[in-house]
Amino acid sequence: MAFPMQFLSDNAAAVHPQVWDALHRADAADTPYDTDAVSRRLDEAFSALFGREVSALWVATGTAANCLALSTMVAPHGGVLCHREAHIEMDEGGAPGFYLHGAKLVLAEGEGAKLAPATVAPVLDAIRDDVHQVQVHAMSLTQASEYGRSYRPAELAALTSLARERGLKVQMDGARFANAVAFLGSTPAEACGDADALSFGCVKNGAMNAEAIVFFDRALADVARYRRKRAGHLQSKGRYLAAQVLAMLEGGLWLANARAANAAAAEIAAAAAGRLLHPVEANEVFLRCTATERAALRAQGFGFYDWGPDAARFVAAWDTREEHARALARAIAGL
Amino acid sequence: MAFPMQFLSDNAAAVHPQVWDALHRADAADTPYDTDAVSRRLDEAFSALFGREVSALWVATGTAANCLALSTMVAPHGGVLCHREAHIEMDEGGAPGFYLHGAKLVLAEGEGAKLAPATVAPVLDAIRDDVHQVQVHAMSLTQASEYGRSYRPAELAALTSLARERGLKVQMDGARFANAVAFLGSTPAEACGDADALSFGCVKNGAMNAEAIVFFDRALADVARYRRKRAGHLQSKGRYLAAQVLAMLEGGLWLANARAANAAAAEIAAAAAGRLLHPVEANEVFLRCTATERAALRAQGFGFYDWGPDAARFVAAWDTREEHARALARAIAGL
Amino acid sequence: MAFPMQFLSDNAAAVHPQVWDALHRADAADTPYDTDAVSRRLDEAFSALFGREVSALWVATGTAANCLALSTMVAPHGGVLCHREAHIEMDEGGAPGFYLHGAKLVLAEGEGAKLAPATVAPVLDAIRDDVHQVQVHAMSLTQASEYGRSYRPAELAALTSLARERGLKVQMDGARFANAVAFLGSTPAEACGDADALSFGCVKNGAMNAEAIVFFDRALADVARYRRKRAGHLQSKGRYLAAQVLAMLEGGLWLANARAANAAAAEIAAAAAGRLLHPVEANEVFLRCTATERAALRAQGFGFYDWGPDAARFVAAWDTREEHARALARAIAGL
Amino acid sequence: MAFPMQFLSDNAAAVHPQVWDALHRADAADTPYDTDAVSRRLDEAFSALFGREVSALWVATGTAANCLALSTMVAPHGGVLCHREAHIEMDEGGAPGFYLHGAKLVLAEGEGAKLAPATVAPVLDAIRDDVHQVQVHAMSLTQASEYGRSYRPAELAALTSLARERGLKVQMDGARFANAVAFLGSTPAEACGDADALSFGCVKNGAMNAEAIVFFDRALADVARYRRKRAGHLQSKGRYLAAQVLAMLEGGLWLANARAANAAAAEIAAAAAGRLLHPVEANEVFLRCTATERAALRAQGFGFYDWGPDAARFVAAWDTREEHARALARAIAGL
């Protein structure tokens, strides 16, 4: 960790004090797996958040959350339509192939790593309706997208309508769902539209190692419980995961943390308007930036990832210090 | 939790204070996945413990530890020989079928849920060496066994010799490995014999949600790293898992905790000698016990599992209070 | 083929002349896969045979027929209840693990390799209704069984009732279904009871390399068509498979061939009454028979399999010559 | 079959008379699976053809041949590099996902549906060497390609050299391998280069339902035998498949048939030079062709597939009649 001011990723940030408190409270003896009193509060907490009856399961990682949800929607001989740059396609080490037993990821394009009816429909239309080609069973959306872009409610409505017409289930990867909600200023329900399941990300937003899968189609949750155990993801001390998730929900911590991260990203973006590769709609900033410029920033103590030869990615986290964001903004402006 | 004195299982016990301390220390910023400074200490720590060069990976659950290790040893068309009452056969929700892509569990008998050459060899001999029958690629042993029985070093030597003769890899489920070592008074190396991989259990012994897979055949670890990610078990804040595992090793906490649990079990066993279904060689006590007797014990505030119609299982954990164990011993003696 | 009089198995018998004729007729140009005129006749032919609307698919082997059918009934996290000596458990090289993506075979006992409610119910009852144990999704029956035993219609009714009560689908392995029907003197519908799918065996009964999967639950056939292609079992010249199957049905060839094989087996059995390990209810004869006696039979030119150290198996095929069966009967009587 | 002159595909052509003869000869009693005298001749026959020691297995379909071979080369967590328009990607109903247990197809471009070092290397280079991205374990080439293009020996050498440098196994889909050899005028060995396994296509070239997998890396064949059984592709009357394959080899029938098909394609191509979408290097002709022109050809009795809105595909088979090819050539010239 040579760089005192880190913008590498939000995925290794510290654990929020309120999460620590909740973890310690969970230390009291209770029953194993998800039979404990803490785990049993998840459904109610998420039902309140989304304003409808849902079933919610804790799980340790976003990859597991996405793949477990998809495994309840897609038969092994089916496919999942997703963006060519979706995390499930690019960065999950083949987990969808494992969890879906060889089902295929069917790729579509779309600006800002977002799908759109205009890019999805042609891909679906090109699949012959016969046994020689893999038929798509579900669509996976990422909110916010891999480039920190947030789907507007109307965009979601158009996509999920298309999905329903084609008989597809809808899964949402919400590793940064909180950041999208914070950006949109919408309700959580509006930000996930008519999805059947949402990976409600906590790890990047202040938790230690707990995400929630929120099932709007509750029948899928009953399958997911078997699949979670089968995948070795049913922790015996599940109360420590449930506690993290509930801590994120309590008092709107999830949203407050996301707002803090988004604000830091916005400050950086404001200083770098001419360099932005993507509008900043969450907590990630992608900038055009030469190798020389990147070296200059690193010399000033900023850590971040190169994004190809001519760009850089900066991610703000819930615990990014304001003065670091401000310093980075100044440094970028001064390039 | 109606019963103030719990002997249901060790799998939901509290987290040990030293583990809490280590978790908090891990809160300092670091790099993601297993690239952080804490995770990078695992190999060395386990190499020191076992007196040879090993590779060690953290993972959140024992099911994942067992199945990931086996997935590096067994081709999808192969099989795993294990005891008919092994956890991988009875209680992992089909996880081996998932992780091994349909490989078969081939079952053998054995007293105390322990395998022995005399029970293993006939099973292997009965498999025709042709493509119509599934060929066994690995043997899985559980130390201590499902009935709290510990393999002696000589027993392990006989079994692993047989495995080598037959060209089998050897995997050890050590969910209660610490309890076996504590009982045997042996070195860790002696208690796991010539295994290729060991699931070194921590969760039942004071950790929150971290186990270690120790690879004695280090080439297997390189495969396991891919499989861990693919299974959604590569946590981005892996340092919190590494910290738990290291905390267990530091100062011999793992052994001290296991000794405490074993001592409690021994106290109970001493009071119940005539009722023991199995010699107590770890932290589990299986007793003959009528329904009436079980009701009487529960009326006195003891929580435990029925074990069929005429028996009960009592498990002591690292945090079982001495006075509870003593009280249980008295209550059993007084039945 | 050192033995001029073969009773090794029915699985390598010659192809029946009527099947050859049908194969040659199929040589006329037609469209690929299962779109040809011959394949399109299968549904109607089997609907007529079973007196109800069914969907029928050709496939090259019995293993594929069984596993494809089961794959439409059993989720990857589920299980199939079958007899401990069922072909899918013993002799299909792990194919169910492959086709069912790691689903588990749950084994039950039963006289003559036949299941019965009394052996099935306890196995189902012992499975805890939780995510730690694999839940059974389907039951697989073999008609006639691995020991040449035929389920009576009342036995099937009892088993399938039990299956329905437990929410299980029912699959029937009918590699020797024809022999069972011939033995029972029942209708085909009576001999398969309330199964959801039947592997209607042809290869052992005069075909070259075509079996039929008959789906009584026709929705399953729609899934099976995708799975067949995905398994590499959709032959482009499918008309040659359809032709074989139809040839078996035409004029009742399937039943005539099975009667011939059964008659030969009956003749052998009649001469060996005191030695029978199992009543002969199809075309297989299992005899107590010492090594010396087996050597004596082989010296007279009879080919057959040892069945453990003290027994032998003799299988009659559609083309077993009467004089060979008679000769074998005499030889056994003369031991 | 409304069109008397068929150019739809070679995949449903009639069976060659010499194949019929061989099938009938195989009717003689023999042992099951691949233990019969005919099957046991395959290794020798292909070793002679390729001038080196190989192991050869029969299997019923090209999809099974490709996927079984790949399953011996690629771990479930790995990937297969292939052309974006390869049959395994486009037309096998997800069979690679099934046979490879979720391994990923990694796609590359290339003119004429052929890979080239210049298109392959960047794809490999873009894969980060970490557990988050699927690592490629094998390369799959198609000879002749989906557009009827044949790899020259020097092209193969460049590709397989690259594969070896990167540690990749090489599999060749040779559904139309014979047509490529016939076009190249090379030896079979030259036409498959340094592949580890070749799907030697027979079905499109005069056989009924038998292909051969030729393993140049013979150790892979030993794995493939288990996988073949496990996939339900080990036919009990395997001698009928072996007979077809041997019939194709005997007297060079495979090459004679391919030459006939190629000659018909060449005749068509010669008449359509200005319309060719791809050079004709096997037995397939892709033409620019308006909807009106296609209707005109169909009105004259020619059957063929549309290839998108402005093109058509014509495939000649071993049994395409010269006068049909000539008539088609005239009709195209007259458009």
Q: Tell whether D67 lies on the interface with C, counting CB pairs under 8 A.
A: yes
Chains A & B: contacts with CB separation below 8 Å:
154
Question: Average pLDDT of B97-124?
Answer: 98
pLDDT-derived band at C313 (thresholds 50, 70, 90) equals very high
Q: Residue D11: list chain A partners with CB under 8 A.
A: none
Chains B & D: contacts with CB separation below 8 Å:
34
Question: Average pLDDT of B221-231?
Answer: 98
> How close are the terminal C-alpha atoms of chain D, in Å?
24
Q: Hey, which residues does A172 pair with through a beta bridge?
A: A141, A198
Q: Residue C135: list chain A partners with CB under 8 A.
A: 226
Neighbors of chain A with 3 or more C-beta pairs under 8 Å: B, C, D
3-state per-residue secondary structure call for chain C: CCCCEECCCCCCCCCCHHHHHHHHHCCCCCCCCCCCCCHHHHHHHHHHHHCCCCEEEEECCHHHHHHHHHHCCCCCCEEEEEECCCHHHHCCCCHHHHHCCCCEEEEECCHHHCCCHHHHHHHHHCCCCCCCCCEEEEEEEECCCCCCCCCCHHHHHHHHHHHHHCCCEEEEEECCHHHHHHHHCCCHHHHHCCCCEEEECCHHHCCCCCEEEEECCHHHHHHHHHHHHHCCCCCCCCHHHHHHHHHHHHHHHHHHHHHHHHHHHHHHHHHCHHHECCCCCCCEEEEECCHHHHHHHHHCCEECEECCCCEEEEECCCCCCHHHHHHHHHHHHCC
Can you give the pLDDT at residue A3?
Answer: 86
CB contact under 8 A, A135 and C223: no
Name, in order, each residue with C-beta under 8 angstroms of C181's C-beta and a sequence gap of 6 or more: C187, C188, C191, C255, C258
Can you give the pLDDT at residue C2?
Answer: 72
pLDDT score of B1 more than 70: no
Can you give the pLDDT at residue D168?
Answer: 98
Q: Residue D79: list chain A partners with CB under 8 A.
A: 94
**Among C131, C132, C230, beta carbon nearest to A77:** C230
Q: Residue B27: list chain A partners with CB under 8 A.
A: 14-15
Can you give the pLDDT at residue B43?
Answer: 98
Looking at CA atoms only, how far is residue C78 from chain B in angstroms?
Answer: 8
CB contact under 8 A, A93 and D103: no
Q: What is the DSSP string of B30-92?
A: --STT-STTGGGHHHHHHHHHTS--EEEEES-HHHHHHHHHHTT--TTEEEEEETT-HHHHSS
User: What are the tens digits of pLDDT across the range A80-106?
Assistant: 999 999 999 999 999 999 999 999 999
**Among B11, B208, B230, beta carbon nearest to A94:** B230
For D140-160, b where at least 16 C-beta lie within 10 A, e where not — what string? bbbbbbbbbbbbbeebbebbb
DSSP-assigned letter for residue B302? E
Q: Residue B75: list chain D partners with CB under 8 A.
A: 223
Task: Return residues 191-220 of C near D (CB < 8 Å).
Answer: 203-204, 208-209
In sign, the C-alpha dihedral spanning C93, C95, C101, C106 is negative
Can you give the pLDDT at residue C273?
Answer: 87
Asked whether the beta carbons of C112 and C145 are under 8 A apart, the reply is yes
Q: Helix B322-333 vs helix B291-299: angle between axes, to the nearest 10 degrees?
A: 140
User: What are the tens digits of pLDDT across the range A131-159?
Assistant: 999 999 999 999 999 999 999 999 999 99
Looking at CA atoms only, how far is residue B231 from chain D in angstroms?
Answer: 10
pLDDT-derived band at D29 (thresholds 50, 70, 90) equals confident
Question: Average pLDDT of C313-327?
Answer: 97
The residue type of D92 is E
CB contact under 8 A, A93 and D77: yes
Can you give the pLDDT at residue A29?
Answer: 86
pLDDT score of D35 more than 90: yes
User: What are the tens digits of pLDDT across the range A21-54?
Assistant: 999 999 998 999 999 999 999 999 999 999 999 9
Q: Tell whether C237 lies on the interface with A, counting CB pairs under 8 A.
A: no
The residue type of C79 is G
Can you give the pLDDT at residue B42?
Answer: 98
Q: Tell whether C230 lies on the interface with A, counting CB pairs under 8 A.
A: yes
Task: Give the tokens for residue A159.
Answer: 């996509």
Q: What percent of chain D has pLDDT over 90?
A: 98
Looking at CA atoms only, how far is residue C154 from chain D in angstroms?
Answer: 32
CA dist C121 and C130 (Å) reads 18
CB contact under 8 A, B94 and C100: no
Q: Tell whether D306 lies on the interface with A, counting CB pairs under 8 A.
A: no
CB contact under 8 A, C24 and D20: yes
pLDDT-derived band at B214 (thresholds 50, 70, 90) equals very high
Q: Tell whether D122 lies on the interface with A, counting CB pairs under 8 A.
A: no
Q: SS3 for D167?
A: coil
CB contact under 8 A, B29 and A9: no
Asked whether the beta carbons of B159 and B117 are under 8 A apart, the reply is yes
Task: Give the tokens for residue A13.
Answer: 């940030």
pLDDT score of B239 more than 80: yes
Can you give the pLDDT at residue D247?
Answer: 98
Q: Tell whether B131 lies on the interface with C, counting CB pairs under 8 A.
A: yes
Question: Average pLDDT of C314-319?
Answer: 97
Question: Average pLDDT of C156-172?
Answer: 98
Q: SS3 for A13?
A: coil
Q: Tell whether D9 lies on the interface with C, counting CB pairs under 8 A.
A: yes
CA dist D192 and C160 (Å) reads 54
H or E element: which one contains D249?
A: helix D239-249
Q: Tell whether B237 lies on the interface with A, counting CB pairs under 8 A.
A: yes
Q: Tell whether A11 lies on the interface with D, counting CB pairs under 8 A.
A: no
Q: Helix C218-230 vs helix C62-71: angle between axes, to the nearest 10 degrees?
A: 120
CB contact under 8 A, C228 and A135: no
CA dihedral A233, A238, A244, A245 (to 10 degrees): 70
User: What are the tens digits of pLDDT across the range A255-308?
Assistant: 999 999 999 999 999 999 899 999 999 999 999 999 999 999 999 999 999 999
Asked whether the beta carbons of D328 and D8 are under 8 A apart, the reply is no
pLDDT score of C232 more than 90: yes
CB contact under 8 A, D1 and C231: no
pLDDT score of D329 more than 70: yes
The residue type of D16 is H
CA dist D266 and C181 (Å) reads 56
Q: What percent of chain A has pLDDT over 70?
A: 100
Can you give the pLDDT at residue B278?
Answer: 97
**Among C77, C227, C234, beta carbon nearest to A77:** C227
Full-model pTM: 0.98
Task: Give the tokens for residue A177.
Answer: 């769902």
CA dist C254 and C247 (Å) reads 8
Q: Tell whether C128 lies on the interface with B, counting CB pairs under 8 A.
A: no
pLDDT score of A14 more than 60: yes
Q: What percent of chain A has pLDDT over 90?
A: 98
The residue type of A63 is T
Pairing of strands B197-200, A197-200: unpaired
CB contact under 8 A, C131 and A76: no
pLDDT score of D1 more than 60: no
pLDDT score of C1 more than 70: no
CB contact under 8 A, A132 and D104: no
CA dist C206 and C248 (Å) reads 8
* Average per-residue pLDDT for chain B: 97
Can you give the pLDDT at residue C3?
Answer: 86
Question: Average pLDDT of B36-52?
Answer: 98
Asked whether the beta carbons of D79 and A104 are under 8 A apart, the reply is no
Can you give the pLDDT at residue B31?
Answer: 93
**Among B91, B92, B97, beta carbon nearest to C97:** B97
Q: Tell whether D63 lies on the interface with C, counting CB pairs under 8 A.
A: yes
User: What are the tens digits of pLDDT across the range B289-323?
Assistant: 999 999 999 999 999 999 999 999 999 999 999 99
Can you give the pLDDT at residue C319?
Answer: 96
Can you give the pLDDT at residue B275?
Answer: 97
Least confident of A50-59, C27-36, D159-168: C27-36
CB contact under 8 A, C102 and B97: yes
Interface probe, candidates A27, A89, A235, A240, chain B, greatest B C-beta count within 10 A? A235
Chains C & D: contacts with CB separation below 8 Å:
154
Can you give the pLDDT at residue B233?
Answer: 98
Q: Tell whether C161 lies on the interface with D, counting CB pairs under 8 A.
A: no
Nearest to B190 by CA among B230, B143, B146, B234: B143
Residue with tokens 């309840």: A72
Looking at CA atoms only, how far is residue B14 from chain A in angstroms?
Answer: 5
Can you give the pLDDT at residue A2?
Answer: 72
Q: Tell whether A164 lies on the interface with B, counting CB pairs under 8 A.
A: no
Q: Residue D68: list chain C partners with CB under 8 A.
A: 232
User: What are the tens digits of pLDDT across the range C16-42?
Assistant: 999 999 999 999 989 999 999 999 999
Interface probe, candidates A58, A73, A128, A131, chain C, greatest C C-beta count within 10 A? A131
Can you give the pLDDT at residue B289?
Answer: 95
Q: Tell whether A27 lies on the interface with B, counting CB pairs under 8 A.
A: yes
CB contact under 8 A, A229 and C131: yes
Can you give the pLDDT at residue B190?
Answer: 98
Strands (E), A75-196: 78-83, 104-108, 135-142, 169-174
Task: Give the tokens for residue C265.
Answer: 């087996």
Interface probe, candidates B9, B21, B63, B66, chain A, greatest A C-beta count within 10 A? B63
Question: Average pLDDT of D275-281?
Answer: 97
Q: Residue A226: list chain C partners with CB under 8 A.
A: 77, 131, 135
Asked whether the beta carbons of D22 and D246 are under 8 A apart, the reply is yes
